Structure 1
Amino acid sequence: MIHIESSCNDLGSCFFHRTGFLGPKDQRIFLFIRGFLGSCAMILKYYAIQAMPLADATVISFSSPAFTCIFACIFLKEKCTVWDIVFIVFTITGVVLIARPPFLFGSNDEDLVEDYTDRLKGTIAAVGGAVGTAIALVVLRKMGKSVHYMLTIWYYATFGLIESTIALFVLQEWHLPYCGLDRWFLVLISLLGLGGQVFLVKALQIEKAGLVSIVRTMDVVYAFIFQALFFHRTPTWLTIGGALCVMASTAGAAVVKWYTSSKKTKENQL
């Protein structure tokens, strides 16, 4: 046990001896932005899952590639092609089909089981989370490999702890669930959430972003499956149509990016 503790301490000291807990001075502002917005996006996503169906919240959160394209054009000066505009339109269409605003679909939508006020709050939270995720991804792209991926996750977890603590005190909700099983669920959520962040950042470092984006669209499929299995709720055709629009947008953007990068590589080799 002591040997394991010593090894962990040595690993931690070796890692932070090179960069420090704050990271390189010229990258700290980006690390702060990534940590703050990344944790805000996750908090908003969890709220959206509570306020609206799981599959709907997951699909809307996947609209982040459209916002990523917009912010990349603004802050990274990346070109916005015709395909990018098409994918953005597909994403917005998907979000509208899922949110189903009354001024387009009428105020008495029979497919909506929950109160539309809650659904609207969940939609706003999910879109806000998607925007926060998009900016965080743009910041990660800006930093590149100049910062160790574990340091970005360290900022993400630290800001998440601080923001959650402040929010709980403000909302007067600082108490653990009464049921013992729910407490274990909280632990499981934290472990799976952190593990997901580690695997995502590592995947972006060892594999092309296009392929990672395509694989990540499977989250939507899993959300529909889990919603049907555990909550016994079948998605509506409008929700499925919106999900297909968002997934097509994400997958299409990834394919176009992969094709463009492959074409440039071949031209450079020639």
Structure 2
Amino acid sequence: MIEATEEPTGKCKKTCRSMLGLTLAFASAIFAAIMTLLVKFLQEAGADHLLLVRWFVQYFFMLPVLSWRREAYVKSRRTNITLFVASTTCAFASTALFFSLTMLPVGDAVAILSTYVPLVGFFACVFLKEPCRVSDVCFAVLALAGLVLVARPPFIFGSETQSPASTSGSRTLGIILATAAALLSAIAMVAIRKMGDKVHFSLFLFYFSLWGFVISIISILSTKELVLPCLDDILVMFLSAFAALLNAILVTLALQNGAAGPVTIVCTSEVVLVFVFEYFFLNVVPSVYSVIGAGLIMTSCIGLAALSIRESNKE
């Protein structure tokens, strides 16, 4: 009787943990969309300055947390290596993405970055031995199709949204940076999942912010483009930084509680939320392609959530 009672309890805990991961992933997408919306209100500040403020806020926000937890390092060497990989790849991915947005149309950059979704499932299957089902592949393809329709990259839909100011050289470099951001994001997602709950999210965000801060300082000093932003830009940058902080915390917790593949695809709902916020706050009416793409992404998210519950109940 005791064993029969404990078995359903274990299944229930696993199901609840899986759903918690998906819920945290969707919440992180909300804050990521807010962060994106706030960036559109910048007037003078550039990508370097926005990233610098983001790392500054995250770094000093995590200092008291680490002091309270008295945790500055991990004793396990293997876990330390995984932490280093996760924090550095996250920092480089964020930097590469923001720089690619200055050289590419936003649609191109988003479409290229979205390729990290199937890469996460592939890396998780290879390194974490997570099951890779046919349904996972189908939902990943569905999400990617939705992202492409929402982003409408010019190299697929024509040159209607192509920026005339972009040159061939800068576009090529932008594509390389966006591709690097996608690859690094996939590696970071799997590394965070590998750490699991062995590393507190505050420790990961501390080193993530530290490496990002160093990268931004080097970038600003090398380009010599340090300027003092206006008060409105400072307010927007700090609000965006706090939204990014909440997004990073929620993503880390989501990956620690749910499978890397489903959590990552749920995070792609950020694209849908961005268009919703744009409609209500900036009066930007989405096109038919955007509506169809948003529907495909949400269908993929709902399907993965249902599949996760079903598989947890079977085990």
TM-score (norm 1): 0.72
* Aligned pairs (5 A) from 1:74-113: 74-97=126-149, 98-102=151-155, 104-106=156-158, 108-109=159-160, 112=161
Work out the CA distance in 1 between the residues paired with 2:278 and 2:312.
Answer: 37
- The equivalent residue for 2:223 is 171
Cα drift, residue 187 of structure 1: 1.8
Any idea what SS the aligned residue of 1:144 has? Answer: helix
2:151 matches 1:72: no
> Are 1:62 and 1:246, in contact at CA under 8 Å, matched by a contact in 2?
no
> Are 1:213 and 1:254, in contact at CA under 8 Å, matched by a contact in 2?
no
Q: What is the aligned-residue RMSD (CA, Å)?
A: 3.7
Instruction: Identify the range of structure 1 (246-255 vs 220-229) with the bigger mean alpha-carbon deviation.
Output: 246-255
How has the CA–CA distance of structure 1 residues 140 and 206 changed in structure 2, closer, same or farther, with 3 Å as cutoff? closer
2:69 matches 1:15: yes
> Are 2:146 and 2:293, in contact at CA under 8 Å, matched by a contact in 1?
yes
Work out the CA distance in 1 between the residues paired with 2:231 and 2:281.
Answer: 19
2:285 matches 1:234: yes
- The equivalent residue for 2:275 is 224
- The equivalent residue for 2:244 is 193
Work out the CA distance in 2 between the residues paired with 1:243 and 1:57.
Answer: 18
2:183 matches 1:142: no
Any idea what SS the aligned residue of 1:235 has? Answer: coil
Work out the CA distance in 1 between the residues paired with 2:195 and 2:116.
Answer: 19
Q: Which has the higher contact order (CA 8 A, sep 6+)?
A: 2
Instruction: Identify the range of structure 1 (65-74 vs 39-48) with the bigger mean alpha-carbon deviation.
Output: 39-48
How has the CA–CA distance of structure 1 residues 124 and 226 changed in structure 2, closer, same or farther, with 3 Å as cutoff? farther
Point out where structure 1 has 5 or more consecutive residues left out of the alignment: 1-7, 265-270
Cα deviation code 1:183-209 (max 9, x no counterpart): 222222222211222233335556787
Work out the CA distance in 2 between the residues paired with 1:116 and 1:79.
Answer: 45
Instruction: Identify the range of structure 1 (24-33 vs 128-137) with the bigger mean alpha-carbon deviation.
Output: 128-137
Cα drift, residue 138 of structure 1: 0.6
- The equivalent residue for 2:234 is 183
Point out where structure 2 has 5 or more consecutive residues left out of the alignment: 1-61
TM-score (norm 2): 0.64
> Are 2:112 and 2:182, in contact at CA under 8 Å, matched by a contact in 1?
yes
* Aligned pairs (5 A) from 1:52-63: 52-53=105-106
> Are 1:49 and 1:57, in contact at CA under 8 Å, matched by a contact in 2?
yes
Cα drift, residue 237 of structure 1: 2.3
Work out the CA distance in 1 between the residues paired with 2:271 and 2:247.
Answer: 15
Cα deviation code 1:83-139 (max 9, x no counterpart): 12212322343344334344x434x43xx2744948967776555434322211111
Work out the CA distance in 1 between the residues paired with 2:180 and 2:63.
Answer: 38
Identity %: 30
2:299 matches 1:260: no
Cα drift, residue 38 of structure 1: 1.1
Work out the CA distance in 2 between the residues paired with 1:205 and 1:36.
Answer: 18
How has the CA–CA distance of structure 1 residues 254 and 45 changed in structure 2, closer, same or farther, with 3 Å as cutoff? farther
Cα deviation code 1:31-64 (max 9, x no counterpart): 11111111222234444666545x8866875654
Which amino acid is the alignment partner of residue 239 of structure 2? Answer: L
> Are 1:68 and 1:137, in contact at CA under 8 Å, matched by a contact in 2?
yes
> Are 1:214 and 1:254, in contact at CA under 8 Å, matched by a contact in 2?
no
How has the CA–CA distance of structure 1 residues 105 and 59 changed in structure 2, closer, same or farther, with 3 Å as cutoff? closer
Cα drift, residue 235 of structure 1: 2.7
How has the CA–CA distance of structure 1 residues 233 and 120 changed in structure 2, closer, same or farther, with 3 Å as cutoff? farther
> Are 1:58 and 1:223, in contact at CA under 8 Å, matched by a contact in 2?
no
2:235 matches 1:157: no
- The equivalent residue for 1:268 is none
